[in-house]
Amino acid sequence: MKAGKHIKTLNSNLS
């Protein structure tokens, strides 16, 4: 998970 102040990205390749 990558988290910033406004946005958290839950995943990392749509293969």
Partner 1 sequence: MIHKYKLNGYNICLDVHSGAVHVLDDAAYDILDYCDENMTENPPEAMFSALSGKYDRDELTETYEALYELYEMGQLFSPDDYEKFADMMTKAPVKSMCINISHDCNLRCEYCFAAKGDFGQGRCLMSIETAKKAIDFIIANSGTRHNLEVDFFGGEPLMNFKVVQQTVEYARSIEKQHHKNFRFTLTTNGLLLDDEKMEYLNREMANVVLSLDGRKEVNDKLRVTPGGKGCYDIIVPKYQKLISQRSKDKDYYIRGTFTKYNLDFTNDILEMRKLGFDQLSIEPVVSDPKLDYSIKYEDLPVVFEEYERLANTIIESRRKGDYYNFFHFMIDLNQGPCAIKRLRGCGCGNEYVAVTPQGDIYPCHQFVGNEDYKMGNLNDGTFNTDMKMQFARANVYSKDNCKNCWAKFYCSGGCNANNFQYEGDIKKSHKTSCELEKKRLECAIMIKAALAESGDSSACDGEDCIVEVCH
Q: How far is the CB of 4 from partner 1 (least distance, A)?
A: 3
Q: How far is the CB of 5 from partner 1 (least distance, A)?
A: 7
For residues 2 and 10, give the distance between their C-alpha atoms in angstroms, rounded to a whole number.
7
- Give residues with Cβ within 8 angstroms of 9, minimum separation 6: 1, 2, 3
Q: How far is the CB of 13 from partner 1 (least distance, A)?
A: 7
Binding positions for partner 1, 1-15, rule CB under 8 A: 1-15
List residues binding partner 1 (CB under 8 A).
1-15
